[in-house]
Structure 1
Amino acid sequence: MDIKEIQSLIKFVAKSGASEVKLETDDLKITIRTGGHGTNETTYVQSIPMAQAPMAPAIPAAPAAVDTPAAPPAAEKEEASEDSKYITIKSPIIGTFYRKPSPDKPVFVEVGDTIATGDVLCVIEAMKLFNDIESEISGKVVKVLVDDSSPVEFDQPLFLVDPS
């Protein structure tokens, strides 16, 4: 695998939205981790040549941080500038995101709802414990960024709120 193939793989992973990809061949092991969908997205690449025949590796054996500033299309830039005026509510824990307290109940908040500090926005299940996620700000819910019943990571954006 040459450097061009690795660079195109990095770009593909960054565009796909995956947080981590591992690729292992007979002579090479690559792990690509992306920092998320923020404006300062960083991709970390770690490659480890496998011990077979001594050869000059095309890539350094030590972990390398590679900045891949992908220029988003104009529509994405416009959306990012619009989203910058909103406050992002992020997940405080790893678990499964639920918009409802139970399957037969209505969702906690809808897009367009006005919320106050302390209002429950969602529930995140972690290790069979259901944790109420409360708002730390007041405002209007602009966007729900996560689908119901999907896994979330620590510090993953959940909601966009307009504080005005």
Structure 2
Amino acid sequence: MDIKEIQNLIKFVAKSGASEVKLEMDDVKITIKTGSDSSGSPAVQYAPVPAQIPQQVVAAPQAEAATPAKAAEPAAPSTATDSKYITIKSPIIGTFYRKPAPDKPLFVEVGQTIAEGDVLCIIEAMKLFNEIESEVSGKIVKILVDDSSPVEFDQPLFLVDPS
């Protein structure tokens, strides 16, 4: 098995949603685990196996990953009054959540004053929940994304009045 085949296998496992796949061939044993690494990339173990083991292949399940329909991105603020506001953008791709749990209160609301370091929202990426903290102090003027919506990298999330 060459490196290209291993890379393709890793990509397939990552897309399939399987948490672990073991592949054993004549003299090669490969285990791919996803979700165990904090960086979100699959962990791969590569170990030679004695030749007397019969060939056995355990394939990843053919479950199709549900891809959410891309939500229409809100238009960038273009009025002169919005130019004085600071835009807080998404640092990652994922699902935007305004509260830490369904039964908990919202992190921030329009009109609320925030300080640098305050948690504004959570973005879930690959089953990891990332708290997004404010890099500026000010007052929330507008929330540009609906709760539980997919967001893209660098997509505007909040407008903040720094004055």
TM-score normalised by length of structure 2: 0.54
How does 1:72-151 map onto structure 2 within 5 Å?
80-151=79-150
Pair 108,129 (structure 1): closer, same or farther in 2 beyond 3 Å: same
How does 1:28-107 map onto structure 2 within 5 Å?
37-38=75-76, 80-107=79-106
Does the residue aligned with 2:159 lie in a helix, a strand or coil?
strand
Does the residue aligned with 1:84 lie in a helix, a strand or coil?
helix
Please report the RMSD computed on the Cα atoms of aligned residues, expressed in angstroms.
Answer: 1.8
TM-score normalised by length of structure 1: 0.54
Does the residue aligned with 1:93 lie in a helix, a strand or coil?
coil
- How far, CA to CA, are the matches of 1:138 and 1:161 in structure 2? 8
Q: Displacement of 1:82 after TM fit?
A: 1.1
Q: Which runs of 4+ in 1 moved over 2 A?
A: 36-39
Rg bigger for which structure?
2
Q: Displacement of 1:104 after TM fit?
A: 0.2
Q: Displacement of 1:37 after TM fit?
A: 3.4
Q: Displacement of 1:146 after TM fit?
A: 0.1
State, as a whole percentage, how many aligned pairs show the same letter.
80
| Unmatched tracts of structure 2, length 5 or more | 1-70
The number of residue pairs the alignment matches comes to 93
